[in-house]
Amino acid sequence: MIEVQRSLKFDRVQIWTAGIFAVGCIACTSAKEGAGDRVLARAYDQVLRWSELRQVIPLESTPEDSTALAERFIDGWLRQQVVLHVSELNQPPVGSDMEAQIEDYRRSLVIFNYEQALVQQKLDTAVSAQEIAAYYDANQANFELKDNILRVRWFKVNEAEKRVLRKMEERFLRGDLDERRDVEIWLAQRGVSIIDRTESWISEMELRTAMALPAEETGPLSKVGKRVVKEGTAAWFIEVVGSKDSTSPAPVELVEQDIRSILLNQRKLQLIAAMREDVYKDAIDNEDVERFDP
């Protein structure tokens, strides 16, 4: 068990406050650049200098904002150094394991940063409709629906007059173009909007939530056709023009963005793999690396 030092001698941590409030001038002048790289704070054997602080203060900051940012940064830096110092004092005797882990992380970070820069510079981000369709056709089993989906239009009215509501229902269900136009005019006069989702898919669960159907209305909504659900003076007019049940593959337009991301990630991995192979071959050709018998 490692016994953590509980009492810290904070008198070992000294703060140089001179110059902090002058940080406000960072945003308004560069004349201070020749003033020297002053030390602004010290924690044990580590120091924080003016040049480090300047990197975290936006040039467009007002003097007041610059001062506040500087004070927060210095306070955070000091606190971090104290915790780091105590942590190092209480590390178990692991020999060079910690240094090896740090070096491994450094190498990984250097490689990662280079590969990210390479990807940003060379990755072709154009994905054609043909590529998306080809991937979809070859991988439909990976795009299963989790719920029934529909293409639907609907509206809800509140009408106390049963005769009016009955005539609305008759006209809606018959679907004659003239009668449909009459229904739309009637709705417009009363400020009722028709929610049209016939050009995109919506899940049945999402549709139920959006319509706020009566709790007892639990029957499936995914059957193509028209229906009217009534509760008291409220009536929901629903027209389903297309549907797919949850056992069907998702339509390609519903997963197009997912496929695009998959294809771009594949290209990214292929680009990185090719780069690694190329630089290794170049190193061998240039005799920068060689293998010896064990």
* Span 144-244 CATH architecture: Roll (3.10)
pLDDT score at 133 = 95
Side-chain-facing half-sphere of 275: CA atoms under 13 Å? 17
Q: Which segments of 127-246 does DSSP mark as H helices, in order?
A: 129-138, 162-174, 177-189, 204-211
DSSP characters over 228-263 = EEEETTEEEEEEEEEEE-TTSBPPGGGSHHHHHHHH
Give the Cα separation of 99 and 92 in Å (integer): 13
pLDDT score at 73 = 92
Residues of the chain with CATH 3.10.50: 144-244
pLDDT below 70 — which residues of the chain? 1-35, 93-96
pLDDT score at 10 = 41
pLDDT score at 3 = 45
pLDDT score at 258 = 94
pLDDT score at 93 = 67
Give the Cα separation of 288 and 95 in Å (integer): 32
Contact 60, 27 (CB under 8 A): yes
Contact 220, 207 (CB under 8 A): no
pLDDT score at 106 = 92
Longest dimension (CA), the chain: 96
pLDDT score at 15 = 41
pLDDT score at 94 = 59
